[in-house]
Amino acid sequence: MVHLQPLSADNTCPTGNHRTDALRDLLRSDRLSFLMEAHDGASAAIAGAAGFRGLWASSLTMSSVLGYRDASEASWSSIADIVERMADASGLPILVDGDTGHGNFNNARLFARKLQRIGAAGLCLEDKLFPKTNSFVGDRHPLADEREFCGRLRAVKEATQDFVLVARTEALIAGQGMDAALSRASSYAEAGADAILVHSRQVDASEILEFAGRWQGKLPLVIVPTSYYSTAVSAYRAAGIATVVWANHNLRASIAAMRQVCARLLLDESSVAIEPGIATLDELFALFAYDELSTAEERFLPKPP
């Protein structure tokens, strides 16, 4: 059962800076931290109520809920609108998966400024070309020129103040090998990144653990164990990895649940069988603190004569 308190005791939103500090702390902490995927206000609120302390605004899942493919089909402004709803509904620090930055250095810095204004805590940029392809789709993953991507990072750094910038290398996804991944990550660190996300689509974590061993903690490392999910997180703790991103699990869970409910309603022409397994309306009202609205109505609406 989900219970969500109003955003804060005085029903105000935590400030952008406060959230940036919180994300920075998660990345820099000696303890392994976790970012939970969210793709709208409701999934963000659910993740917060469950106890997650930070969110990953996934390009895959935000595109999906808009009905687009994760191939730069969704505009940067529609992504920003979703992030704003997530920030308002959860009050949590959000690391936004910004793909390529939606273009060159100029698009990236425009997007970053917008995200900062609407309450995101940080932006993750990947060293791919616009339009991008999801890392699990096909084998064509051309990488950006390293110097051009460093320019994108520097532009975002200069355009924002007190905003977390994570540089993501897709060198392993693109089959460029470990040396290229490490060398790119070093260049991105020099360009001003606050952390490095290294992505892999192997079914075990061997290349991620090799990367972590050779990286030697130069900057915090962020990983996305979507395909190598069977590795125990103790391996990441031992390797000194900073943050694990559960990148798409809320959406995948809701797709499975919605499919089941649709099929059953179609078949049974009754909701009797599914009622025990779905959230009650009271749970939904609790998630968005409807009780706070009733209290506010008492205080602010004129009493009937």
Active site residues: 70
Compute the least distance from the CB of residue 74 to ligand SPV, in Å. 11
Structure tokens at 303: 């009493």
* Residue 59 binds Mg ion, judged by CB under 5 A: yes
Compute the least distance from the CB of residue 16 to ligand SPV, in Å. 23
First to last CA, the chain: 39
Angle CA(57)–CA(55)–CA(241) in degrees, nearest 5? Answer: 105
> Among residues 12 and 202, whose Cβ is nearest to Mg ion?
202
21-24: long-range contacts at Cβ-Cβ below 8 A with a sequence spacing of 24 or more?
A: 22/53, 22/54, 22/92, 22/93, 22/121, 23/54, 23/93, 23/94, 23/95, 23/121, 23/122, 23/164, 24/164, 24/194
* Residue 226 binds Mg ion, judged by CB under 5 A: no
Query: Which phi and psi (to 5°) does residue 259 adopt?
Result: -60, -45
Q: Which residues lie near ligand SPV (CB under 6 A)?
A: 58-60, 70, 97, 134-136, 224, 226, 247-248
Compute the least distance from the CB of residue 62 to ligand SPV, in Å. 8
Residue 247 binds which entry of ligand SPV, Mg ion, none, CB below 5-8 Å type-dependent: ligand SPV
Stretch that binds Mg ion, among 10-18, 53-61, 111-119, 160-168 (CB under 5 A): 53-61
CA 65 to chain centroid, in Å, comes to 14
Rounded CA Rg of the chain: 20
* Residue 127 binds Mg ion, judged by CB under 5 A: no
Compute the least distance from the CB of residue 147 to ligand SPV, in Å. 23
Structure tokens at 136: 């699990």
DSSP, collapsed to helix, strand or coil, labels residue 166 as strand
Q: Give the x/- contact pattern for Mg ion in 88-107, rule: CB under 5 A.
A: ---------x----------
Residue 135 binds which entry of ligand SPV, Mg ion, none, CB below 5-8 Å type-dependent: ligand SPV
Binding site for Mg ion (CB under 5 A): 59, 97
